[in-house]
Amino acid sequence: MFNKVIIYWTGIAVAWLSLLAACSQVWQQAETSPLAVVATPLPEKTAATHPLPQATATVTTGSPTSSPLPSETPLAGHEIALVVRVLDGDTIEVLLAGETLRLRYIGIDSPEDGQPFSSEATEANRQLVEGKKVLLEKDVSETDRYDRLLCYVYLLDGTFINAELVRAGYA
């Protein structure tokens, strides 16, 4: 009986230590994740930005509130597109490689047409991106069930659009 108790409590201790180690790794990864911006409190009236990853020594990330790209050369794993139309608070149309594609922001949801605050969310998105060049970062899935691109979207100055819409309360 005594051995069973020791084995039981040893198993509990090992499980807790494993859990703590896993949490530590998740928190370290979260500090470099694009979604970490969402969990970080932002000062009032500032844009949510995410330092863009460095592809070469010529790209600088700048301060947390500004990450200008010195040129329009896409970084590894990223593409530059032109926003040609804003459809709603979380969906846009982009011109990418000569093709117009629908794109849905990853990780956010805004009110749909006819729901309260839908027009405000759409207008906020329009003010942020319409007619601008944006940097697209894909994740695990490239498209959703409606065949829309799924991306994290940044302005060329480093503003993380997905997080900015959440920060401002539109998504």
Tell me which of 31, 79, 85, 112 is the catalytic residue: 112
Tell me which of 72, 85, 93, 104 is the catalytic residue: 104
Nearest to 75 by CA among 163, 130, 131, 154: 154
Based on the residue annotation, tell me whether 137 is a catalytic residue of this protein.
no
Residue with tokens 């922001």: 105
Tell me which of 93, 137, 148, 164 is the catalytic residue: 148
Q: Is residue 119 helix, strand or coil? A: helix
94 conformational bin, left if phi > 0, alpha if psi -120 to 50, beta if neither: beta
d(CA 99, CA 79): 13
Based on the residue annotation, tell me whether 112 is a catalytic residue of this protein.
yes
CA distance from start to end of the chain: 56
Based on the residue annotation, tell me whether 142 is a catalytic residue of this protein.
no
Active-site positions read 104, 112, 148
